[in-house]
Amino acid sequence: MALRLSCPNCGSRPFTEFWFGGELRPLYREGMSPEEDYRRLWLPENAAGRQTERWFHHAGCRRWLTAERDTVTNEIHVVH
């Protein structure tokens, strides 16, 4: 079964309309040490379960969305 995302602007659409932006990671903060920045950038959580992640609706509203998805079942809980 192909994944579908419920875009808040465009409704339910197949994942092929979206680009996956990966898990949501902490943003760079002023004064972060190189070590903290390395861990933030290169060492993801890679959750097996609920993950907060980014998608870009390139074939629709062309906006970045944040979704909560279970990576084991692919069930999408929230898109905002």
Count of all residues that appear for the chain in the document:
80
CB of 31 to another protein, least distance (A): 19
Selection from 22, 68, 57 nearest residue 76 by Cα: 68
Identity of the residue, 53 or 57, whose beta carbon is nearer to another protein in the bound complex: 53
CB of 65 to another protein, least distance (A): 13
* Binding positions for another protein, rule: CB under 8 A: 1-3, 14-16, 19-20, 22-23, 35, 38-39, 41-48, 51, 53, 71-74
What are the CA-CA distances from residue 25 to residues 34, 54, 56, 66, 79 (Å)?
16, 10, 16, 12, 17
